[in-house]
Amino acid sequence: MIISVRALVASTALLVLIGGHIPGLTQGARPTAFAAADLTDLKGVDDLKTLFNRDVGKVRLVLLVSPT
């Protein structure tokens, strides 16, 4: 009986772990929401200027925002 309970606990834990990583398995999961975004320090106006000119040919949207 003890073995059965342990097996049940282990199986449940495994399902929880897998469910958190398989899109659609967990109801309401939005895997894109966990895409890793990277925040780096702006190195002056020239930093944005360089990015801006590197991306000529694309429509560009600048957002000036605070985090709350």
Residues that bind another protein (CB under 8 A): 32-42, 44-45, 47-49, 51-53, 55-68
Residue 39, CA distances (Å) to 2, 43, 56 in order: 49, 12, 22
Minimum CB distance to another protein, residue 2 (Å): 41
Is the CB of residue 68 less than 8 Å from the CB of residue 60? no
Nearer to another protein by Cβ, of 4 and 66: the residue is 66
The answer for residues whose C-beta is within 8 angstroms of residue 20's C-beta and 6 or more apart is 26
Minimum CB distance to another protein, residue 43 (Å): 9
Minimum CB distance to another protein, residue 17 (Å): 21
